[in-house]
Amino acid sequence: MKELIDIVSHFNTQGTIHEIKPLGSGLINDTYKVTTTEPNTPEYVLQRINHAIFQDVEMLQSNIAAVTKQIRKKLEEQGEEDIDRKVLHFITAENGKTYWFDGDNYWRMMTFIPRAKTYETVNPEYSYYAGKAFGDFQAKLADIPETLGETIPDFHNMEFRLKQLRDAVKANAAGRLGEVSYYIDEIEARAEEMCKAERLYREGKLPKRVCHCDTKVNNMMFDEDGKVLCVIDLDTVMPSFIFSDYGDFLRTGANTGDEDDKDLSRVEFNMEIFKAFTKGYLEGATFLTPIEIENLPYAAALFPYMQCVRFLADYINGDTYYKIKYPEHNLVRTKAQFKLLQSVEAHNEEMKSFINSCLHG
């Protein structure tokens, strides 16, 4: 904790530090909650940025600055109250930037949003609010004046993710290939269909828009009444297909089991959550084109598929990307995402007819 206190001392915070404790369940950055002794000073969040993954920290933080500035402006224009709980606020360090480099690691701090909660699972009512909130998030960013950089190049590019998997298979760095051939075959059987977004983009039929790109259900803060306060974890906000935000929420929010469930019988795609989220999303994302809407069921399948590919590639590579809790963790995650994908596929027709009913009443 002494080292963490030292890091915090480089930021312009108020009050005396009382405690610094780990916070949240992210798989990439390390996150801590910083509490202060005085009752009227804010609490903070301290994060060690995963610099191996986010290599251009300057770009990362300037994207986030542009995004939070734009959201704040829109909230002000709408006459919103409680703005400080509805958009993240980053703390300046003594170097005048919103991050601090200690010689080894990059750190940043933001104000902790009081009386807010995150969830690992949500009910249909909360999903409806979440759908509206992510639609609204994309709508607010539609006319952002800055051009955002790709903080992780090709982040949600399915062709690129498949290439990474194929490279991992070729190298077989951890000698794990023997146990995963079933999953490789299942992935390859769907590869062409799953790269549809990239094809539509090349043909000029599908736009890229500013998206969040990590709309896991636990990246959203809710207030005491279950209303969405704000979206957090802005590292991956960048131009992408809207499928990213729609699909990744459903991947996490509509899974009846856990992302890394060992009991595959618990993993199913929950259509009640799907319906509530989709209804909210279509209400919030008023700018969607017919081709985007028509491909929402594809997006619901794409994200469990992409995550399956990413977890499997990491497993084959010997666990170099995601934090793991035990040696088979990435394989367990792969299997759970594949089971979820199969369940999404089984609901394809039902998804389509629900979306049609939303559009035509």
Closest CA to 97 of 66, 69, 71, 58: 58
The answer to whether residues 90 and 65 touch, using CB atoms and an 8 Å cutoff, is yes
Measured at the CA of 205, the angle between CA 203 and CA 208, to 5 degrees, comes to: 105
Partner that binds at residue 236, options ligand GN1, Mg ion, none, CB closer than 5 to 8 Å by kind: ligand GN1
Binding site residues, ligand GN1, CB under 6 A: 26-28, 53, 214, 216, 219, 233, 236, 259, 307
* Closer residue to Mg ion (CB): 233 or 268: 233
* Closer residue to ligand GN1 (CB): 258 or 350: 258
Part in contact with Mg ion (CB under 5 A); list of ranges 183-191, 232-240, 254-262, 282-290: 232-240
Closest CA to 229 of 91, 41, 82: 82
* Closer residue to ligand GN1 (CB): 279 or 339: 339
Q: Which residues pair with 107 in a beta bridge?
A: 48, 100
* Closer residue to ligand GN1 (CB): 152 or 293: 152
Helix 348-360 × helix 271-284 angle, to 10°: 40
The minimum distance between CB 286 and Mg ion, in angstroms, equals: 27
Partner that binds at residue 53, options Mg ion, ligand GN1, none, CB closer than 5 to 8 Å by kind: ligand GN1
Q: Which residues contact 273 (CB under 8 A, 6 or more apart)?
A: 122, 123, 124, 127, 250, 253, 254
* Closer residue to ligand GN1 (CB): 321 or 354: 321
Closest CA to 291 of 158, 193, 190, 200: 200
Token readout for 154 is 């090709």
CB neighbourhood size of 163 (10 A): 13
The answer to whether residues 214 and 235 touch, using CB atoms and an 8 Å cutoff, is yes
The minimum distance between CB 211 and Mg ion, in angstroms, equals: 15
The minimum distance between CB 316 and ligand GN1, in angstroms, equals: 17
CA distance 332 to 216: 18
Partner that binds at residue 319, options Mg ion, ligand GN1, none, CB closer than 5 to 8 Å by kind: none
- Does 219 help bind Mg ion (rule: CB under 5 A)? yes
The minimum distance between CB 216 and ligand GN1, in angstroms, equals: 5
The answer to whether residues 53 and 44 touch, using CB atoms and an 8 Å cutoff, is no
* Closer residue to Mg ion (CB): 53 or 195: 53
Partner that binds at residue 245, options ligand GN1, Mg ion, none, CB closer than 5 to 8 Å by kind: none
Token readout for 348 is 């394809």
- Does 26 help bind Mg ion (rule: CB under 5 A)? yes
Token readout for 87 is 């958009």
- Does 233 help bind Mg ion (rule: CB under 5 A)? yes
* Closer residue to ligand GN1 (CB): 28 or 309: 28
Part in contact with Mg ion (CB under 5 A); list of ranges 24-32, 73-81, 143-151, 258-266: 24-32
Q: Would you tell me which residues interact with Mg ion (CB under 5 A)?
A: 26, 219, 233
